[in-house]
Chain A
Amino acid sequence: MIDQLTVFLGNTEGRLTALCKALGDAGIQMHALALADTADYGLVRIICDNPAKAMASLGEEGFAASLAKVVAVEVPNVPGGLAQVFGVFDGTELNIEYCYCFADARRSAIVALKTGEGAIELLTNAGFTVLHPDDLYAA
């Protein structure tokens, strides 16, 4: 499982800049950022090179930051690749709460999934490459 940084952010001017600046000042390198927004607030989900340090720095700056466990899976670089990944969950009890895609230099595409117990086993058995924390950051 990957430690994802989640930040609760007011939907007001300058907050996203302030967040990214705080991470930059702490020397944090981001791999992925996805924003779930509502009229009043947003949840910013971030995969970065040092989630524990990022959370501590943001806490000091007064952000509401926490860590959540997500599964990161390599997506086959073919049309329908993402559908193949999601297809694994069909007919199981597992639900995908949210997901977002990103890329890194070594892989074509990665999808981060917030789901339940047993997802890693399910994906691995189906032949997908599930990333370890040390693939993305110094765990």
Chain B
Amino acid sequence: MAFQDEITHMDRAELEALQLERLKKAVVYCYERIPFYKENFDAVGFDPYALESFDDLRKASFTTKQDMRDAYPYDLFALPKEDVKEIHMSSGTTGVATVSGYTEHDLQVWGDCFARGIGYAGGTEEDICHVCYGYGLFTGGLGAHYGGLSAGCMTIPMSAGNTKRQIKVLKTMGSSIICCTPSYAMYIADTAIADGVDPKTDFNLKAGIHGAEAWSNQFRENLEKKLNYKALDVYGLTEVMGPGVAIECLEQNGLHVAEDHFYVEILDPETHEPVPDGEWGELVITTLDKEATPVIRYRTKDITRIMPGECACGRTHRRIDRLHGRTDDMMIIRGVNVFPSQIENVCAAFPEVADWYQIELTRENSLDVATLKIEVNPEYAMDEIRAIEDLQKRLKQALKDELATTIQVKVVEPFAIQRSEGKAVRIVDLRSEEEK
């Protein structure tokens, strides 16, 4: 039995009844305790006491990141501070931070949700959970940490950084489940290999639970090849909880949403109408039993879709697809919407280039110019300028075919793209504010 199997395999009708029961309480709870929800619900004419179905929720107002910033620091707390055990904050790099509070119950739920992922990965209390997400206000470190504890694993709070020590611990302490960003996992693997360590045999990894940034299937395959383990995607966000809102199982075919705690909608970002299962749209999340900072219809700006049908693993919680990008990360290049993940997918077909890339946005003669800088694959022999120019030309054409816009291509040396211990920096926007 894996962790909380009885919940992850719950009968659909039973699960939906539980969701609805919790949802009814959640909207009333927010309305009665948080002035923001009272004002907004009243303004759109949503009566929380009259909610009888999931469809009724569509009458409720949305909550946005800006609402959360405006509420900084405590205006969206449903409970007095003495009932709150912990807080986390988004990095706030693009403005005021958003704050999320957790009661004892909320922390338990968080740990349990992440621990399910450890179970999905085939992990048990016999596993050693190596957490090298950054610890601190960022939800990655402590979320994975609580998950390790809930799953009963021996948990190693490495935090991010000091890569040589990560490698030493991975080599000597038998870490079997690693939790970090996918780019940091790759960085650890590459650094180990450069130091003459073979992670395939010298590490004891069974699985990795990786999130906080978008990564392609090609990137995943490379990671799995280098580390000889299963790399699983985890989704979460500070505003809702942190990592564990949805996690992949070993089928690697979508992330199971912890539906007993979260109600998800996929909406057309323009019309706000729900899209059918299988179609891409913006993920909107309602917390069903969060106590400290519950959220109703939070617009994540993440683009995904509900995977139709049942998962081969037998779990009943619905799956969202791996993120297609963010409405935020979406670049508008000469009027065309482009996601970094699309660029990544195009490049994956070219063995001559590696996984590390950056997109630089500039403005020339009042036109947007996007330049893809991508590292050459050092395994691939390059001896003629003509061949390199040809490669750049073919990449450019493939991008144009896929994206219907022109992206300049420059291949660069290995390690020319700055490595990061946190989220990989994929877009460098050098356009001035007025130009955007």
Which B residues touch A41, using CB under 8 A?
388, 410-413
A75 sits at the interface (CB 8 A): no
A68 sits at the interface (CB 8 A): yes
B413 and A63 contacting across the interface, CB-CB below 8 Å: yes
B382 and A66 contacting across the interface, CB-CB below 8 Å: yes
Shortest distance between the CB of B200 and any CB in chain A (Å): 18
B414 sits at the interface (CB 8 A): yes
Nearest residue in B to A64 (C-beta to C-beta)?
B378
B194 sits at the interface (CB 8 A): yes
B384 and A10 contacting across the interface, CB-CB below 8 Å: no
Shortest distance between the CB of B14 and any CB in chain A (Å): 55
Shortest distance between the CB of B378 and any CB in chain A (Å): 4
Shortest distance between the CB of A129 and any CB in chain B (Å): 24
| 11 sampled A-B residue pairs with Cβ under 8 A | A6-B381, A8-B413, A10-B412, A36-B385, A43-B385, A45-B383, A62-B414, A62-B415, A63-B378, A66-B382, A98-B384
Docked complex Cα distance between A10 and B412 (Å): 6
Docked complex Cα distance between A62 and B191 (Å): 10
Docked complex Cα distance between A114 and B194 (Å): 31
B382 and A43 contacting across the interface, CB-CB below 8 Å: yes
Docked complex Cα distance between A15 and B381 (Å): 19
A81 sits at the interface (CB 8 A): no
A62 and B194 contacting across the interface, CB-CB below 8 Å: yes
Digitize A98-121: 1 where CB-to-B-CB distance is under 8 Å, 0 elsewhere.
Answer: 100000000000000010000000
Nearest residue in B to A37 (C-beta to C-beta)?
B385
Docked complex Cα distance between A39 and B105 (Å): 59
Digitize B374-401: 1 where CB-to-A-CB distance is under 8 Å, 0 elsewhere.
Answer: 0011101111111010000000000000
B416 sits at the interface (CB 8 A): yes
A38 and B376 contacting across the interface, CB-CB below 8 Å: no
Digitize A17-41: 1 where CB-to-B-CB distance is under 8 Å, 0 elsewhere.
Answer: 0000000000000000000101011
Digitize B291-334: 1 where CB-to-A-CB distance is under 8 Å, 0 elsewhere.
Answer: 00000000000000000000000000000000000000000000
B413 and A43 contacting across the interface, CB-CB below 8 Å: no
B413 and A9 contacting across the interface, CB-CB below 8 Å: yes
B411 and A6 contacting across the interface, CB-CB below 8 Å: no
Given A15-B413, A60-B194, A64-B376, A8–B384 Cβ distance below 8 Å? no
With an 8 Å Cβ cutoff, the count of chain B residues facing the other chain is 19
Which B residues touch A98, using CB under 8 A?
384
B194 and A68 contacting across the interface, CB-CB below 8 Å: no
Nearest residue in A to B376 (C-beta to C-beta)?
A64
Which B residues touch A64, using CB under 8 A?
376-378, 382, 413-414
Which B residues touch A114, using CB under 8 A?
383-384
Which B residues touch A12, using CB under 8 A?
416
A87 sits at the interface (CB 8 A): no
Which B residues touch A43, using CB under 8 A?
382-385, 388
A47 sits at the interface (CB 8 A): no
A8 and B382 contacting across the interface, CB-CB below 8 Å: yes
Nearest residue in B to A67 (C-beta to C-beta)?
B381
Q: Which of A33-72 contact B (CB under 8 A)?
A: 36, 38, 40-41, 43, 45, 59-60, 62-68
Which A residues touch B410, using CB under 8 A?
40-41
Which B residues touch A59, using CB under 8 A?
378
A10 and B381 contacting across the interface, CB-CB below 8 Å: no
Shortest distance between the CB of B385 and any CB in chain A (Å): 5
> Which of A10, A65, A68, A114 counts the most B-chain CB atoms under 10 A from its CB?
A10
Docked complex Cα distance between A63 and B410 (Å): 17
Docked complex Cα distance between A9 and B415 (Å): 11
A97 and B384 contacting across the interface, CB-CB below 8 Å: yes
Q: 4 extra interchain contacts, Cβ-Cβ under 8 A, other than A63-B378, A66-B380, A66-B383?
A: A4-B383, A9-B413, A64-B382, A68-B381
A10 and B383 contacting across the interface, CB-CB below 8 Å: no
Nearest residue in A to B381 (C-beta to C-beta)?
A66
Digitize B167-187: 1 where CB-to-A-CB distance is under 8 Å, 0 elsewhere.
Answer: 000000000000000000000
Q: Which 3 A-B pairs have the closest CB atoms?
A: A66-B381, A68-B383, A10-B413
Which A residues touch B380, using CB under 8 A?
66
Shortest distance between the CB of A39 and any CB in chain B (Å): 10
Docked complex Cα distance between A68 and B383 (Å): 7
Given A36-B385, A98-B384, A114-B383, A65–B413 Cβ distance below 8 Å? no
Nearest residue in B to A40 (C-beta to C-beta)?
B410
B378 and A65 contacting across the interface, CB-CB below 8 Å: yes
Which A residues touch B412, using CB under 8 A?
10, 40-41
Shortest distance between the CB of B67 and any CB in chain A (Å): 45
Docked complex Cα distance between A15 and B414 (Å): 12
Q: Which of B80-105 contact A (CB under 8 A)?
A: none
Shortest distance between the CB of B382 and any CB in chain A (Å): 5
Shortest distance between the CB of A95 and any CB in chain B (Å): 11
Q: Which of B2-59 contact A (CB under 8 A)?
A: none
> Which of A8, A15, A64, A114 counts the most B-chain CB atoms under 10 A from its CB?
A64
B414 and A63 contacting across the interface, CB-CB below 8 Å: yes
Which listed residue, B194, B376, B386, B415, touches A8 by the CB 8 Å rule?
B376
Docked complex Cα distance between A63 and B194 (Å): 12
B416 and A8 contacting across the interface, CB-CB below 8 Å: no
Nearest residue in B to A6 (C-beta to C-beta)?
B383
Docked complex Cα distance between A10 and B414 (Å): 9
Nearest residue in A to B386 (C-beta to C-beta)?
A97
Nearest residue in B to A65 (C-beta to C-beta)?
B378
